């Protein structure tokens, strides 16, 4: 079952940041706040790229309707 990651007004940047934080939190090598912050910073570009692709998949293609007067 798929769900919309961007439901509830979520922005791309907040989803990417949450993803990076969750991935960094699972790294057993991280032992200090500084190393945690650095790991998040290292992961963030790849997370932004993945989120952008997901956002495009979830965003409906805009369309227009011609109205004659």
Residue 9 contacts by C-beta under 8 Å, 6 or more apart in sequence? none
For residue range 54-69, list pLDDT tens digits in order: 888 887 666 777 777 7
Which residue range forms the structural domain that includes residue 37?
A: 12-57
67 is a domain residue: no
Which sign does the torsion angle of CA 6, 21, 43, 2 carry?
negative
pTM exceeds 0.85, yes or no: no
For residue range 10-51, list pLDDT tens digits in order: 899 999 999 999 999 999 999 999 999 999 999 999 999 999
68 is a domain residue: no
**Number of compact structural domains in the chain:** 1
18 is a domain residue: yes
Residue 21 contacts by C-beta under 8 Å, 6 or more apart in sequence? 40
66 is a domain residue: no
């Amino acid at each position: 079952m798929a769900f919309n990651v961007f439901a509830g007004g979520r922005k791309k940047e907040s989803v990417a940041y949450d993803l990076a934080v969750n991935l960094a939190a699972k790294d057993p090598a991280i032992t200090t706040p500084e190393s945690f912050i650095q790991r998040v910073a290292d992961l963030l570009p790849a997370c932004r790229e993945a989120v952008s692709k997901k956002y495009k998949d979830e965003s409906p293609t805009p369309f227009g309707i011609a109205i004659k007067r």
